[in-house]
Structure 1
């Protein structure tokens, strides 16, 4: 995976060539990713879904993250990113069922790792029940849903935690999960990233 080739961009987000995934994160090149946030509606409520990253992941193991996401390889288009959904969650999604909510540029830094992403962000109104997801356990250890209004308030600091319900996987079995998610349990994307996503999804929901 570290040898996968990605398209890289300069500080003005103009393409400048290709580099391996390892080099991209070592030198801090801007690169493209695909993000898909699952949402659903029941009566007057909307929900947003989070995946729990496997504890075997090199980056951010055991933390909650975007429903499905991944890097776009050098020879891929944005549309090719939909492969991440079926690979990680085990459900079929058609490209025309996704709705683009634009691009989000963000940066994250930790020792020996610089992540500068141009994220192509989509929403998908899922018809699936929680039990329908069949996770790629090397990548994903669980999936949960959260009341979207609570998620929105959480992103803007109006609450310190959000209640999530779903399941986690252990030894090939699905275990019911219900518990609070705090900032420490989320992948540490910059807070402005979560705020932009929450704002755009709220606008999407208000139009429908």
Structure 2
């Protein structure tokens, strides 16, 4: 779905300009996204398998919930909205722990360049995974994976290919932060 988003400079500062998401991706314009990683008390992460019709990284496993921040929308409101849309879970801002903002540049093709700042949060999954309602247009599957297995698979050159290729620093930060919360 195309949407109006705010454009940022290469340092993440708003430029006071907007563009449709499709145009931002086509021209490689910086913009903001939210990433929300859900974890369980017993040391598991909720991950989603992207649908095979996605423009970027189709069919790969990724962050629990992610999405673009709409023009004029607050970061927290965007995170709450994306969680509701993608997995049918109503949360509040107090349930989100922000762990950082990660700059990401991925050139998928001449016509698709992702230049994003991922505002990244952790949140404890308080209900059974079976009660989540996945957004079928975005997500093919949801699963829980242990932190240890996730880390092992990311460090295996063959198994790592099933995941969206975020930087190892990004994934390491996620795992370390979750370990500290348990």
Using the size of structure 2 for normalisation, the TM-score is: 0.89
CA distance in 2, matches of 1:160, 1:130: 29
Unaligned runs of 5+ in 1: 162-181
**Pairing of 1:186-197 with structure 2 (within 5 A):** 186-197=163-174
CA RMSD of aligned residues (A): 1.8
- What are the superposed Cα offsets for residues 48-83 of structure 1, whole Å, 9 maximum, x if unpaired? 110111223232221111101100011201011211
Structure 1 residue 160: deviation in Å?
4.8
Q: Answer yes or no: is the 8 Å Cα contact 2:7–2:30 preserved in 1.
A: yes
Q: Answer yes or no: is the 8 Å Cα contact 2:47–2:62 preserved in 1.
A: yes
Unaligned runs of 5+ in 2: none
Residue matched to 2:12: 13
Q: Answer yes or no: is the 8 Å Cα contact 2:56–2:108 preserved in 1.
A: no
Residue matched to 2:90: 92
Residue matched to 2:125: 126
Q: Does 1:72 align with 2:72?
A: no
Residue matched to 1:105: 103
CA distance in 2, matches of 1:56, 1:106: 22
* Corresponding residue SS for 1:41: coil
Q: Answer yes or no: is the 8 Å Cα contact 1:37–1:124 preserved in 2.
A: yes
Stretches of 4+ moved more than 6 A in 1? none
Greater RCO (CA < 8 Å, at least 6 residues apart): 2
Q: Answer yes or no: is the 8 Å Cα contact 1:108–1:190 preserved in 2.
A: no
- What are the superposed Cα offsets for residues 98-139 of structure 1, whole Å, 9 maximum, x if unpaired? 111121112111112111111111111111112111111111
CA distance in 1, matches of 2:28, 2:9: 10
Q: Answer yes or no: is the 8 Å Cα contact 1:47–1:147 preserved in 2.
A: yes
Q: Answer yes or no: is the 8 Å Cα contact 2:36–2:66 preserved in 1.
A: yes
Residue matched to 1:166: none
**Larger radius of gyration, structure 1 or 2?**
1
Q: Select the structure that is richer in strand.
A: 1
